[in-house]
Amino acid sequence: MPYNPDKHHRRSIRLKGYNYSSAGAYFITLCTFQRQCLFGRIIDGAMQLNECGQIIAEEWLQSSSIRQEIDFDQWVIMPNHLHGIVLINPTHLVGVHGRIVGANGRLPLQRTGHSQRVVPPMKPRSLSSFIAGFKSATTKRINTARNSPRTPVWQRNYYDHIIRSEESLQRIQQYIQNNPATWQNDQLNPSNPSKF
C-alpha cells in the first residue's frame, strides 16, 4: 500500500530539535520485523546466537571501526531485538576547514511513492545515519545467507533514549546485562502480551 499522508499519520519518536550527531551516549533498541525471533534463542538465561545472530554481532562490532565517530558500551543481541549503548564522539567529525564531514550512504534527495514527495537526506555521522547503515548491511547479509532477497529483517524506525547522567547510564548497563536472564518477562518476548 503506498504511503498516503492524509491517511497514514506517522509521527517521529525522535526528540524534536535535538541534534543526534552531537557528542553523547544513546540507548537504542532495534526490533526485528513483526518481532520474529531471527537471531537465536535464550537457553538457561543466556543468549545462543544462530547464524543470523552471528551476522548481527559481526556487523555491530565492525561498525565502530567503519564509523570512527561512534563507539559502544554495553550491548546485547536478543532473539528478536538488539539493545545497545552508542557513544558519539564529534571530535572525529571535523574536516580540514573545521566543517562537519562525512557521508551517510544515501542520495542527497529521494523521491518517495506516487506523491513524488522529496525527502531530505539524514544528517551525516548521526545516530540515524549509523542505524540506517547498520540495518542495511545486516539485512543484505542475512537475506543472502537465507536466500531470501527483499525480505524485511528490521521493523521501521528504532527506539532511542538520550543518556543524561551517570546514574541513568549505570541503570541501563544493568538492564542490558540482565536482559537475557529476564527474557521470560520481557515485553518484546512474543510469548508475552505486547504493550505496544
pLDDT tens, N- to C-terminus, the chain (196 residues): 454 555 544 444 444 554 555 578 999 999 999 999 999 999 999 999 999 999 999 999 999 888 888 899 999 999 999 999 999 885 544 444 443 333 333 333 344 455 554 444 556 668 888 999 999 999 999 999 999 999 999 999 999 999 989 999 999 999 999 999 999 999 999 988 766 5
C-alpha closest to that of 172 among 70, 26, 56:
26
The C-alpha angle 70, 72, 74, rounded to 5 degrees, equals: 160
Domain 24-177: homologous superfamily in CATH: Transposase IS200-like (3.30.70.1290)
* Helix/strand/coil percent split, the chain, to 5: 30, 25, 45
Q: Say what the pLDDT of residue 69 is.
A: 85
C-alpha closest to that of 191 among 29, 27, 46, 42:
42
Domain coordinates in residue numbering, the chain:
24-177
Residue 152 buriedness (CB in 10 A; 0-12 / 13-18 / 19+): middle
Distances (CA, A) of 181 to 43, 62, 78, 167, 178: 9, 26, 11, 22, 5
pTM attached to this predicted model: 0.75
What is the C-alpha to C-alpha distance for residues 21 and 126, in angstroms, rounded to an integer? 4
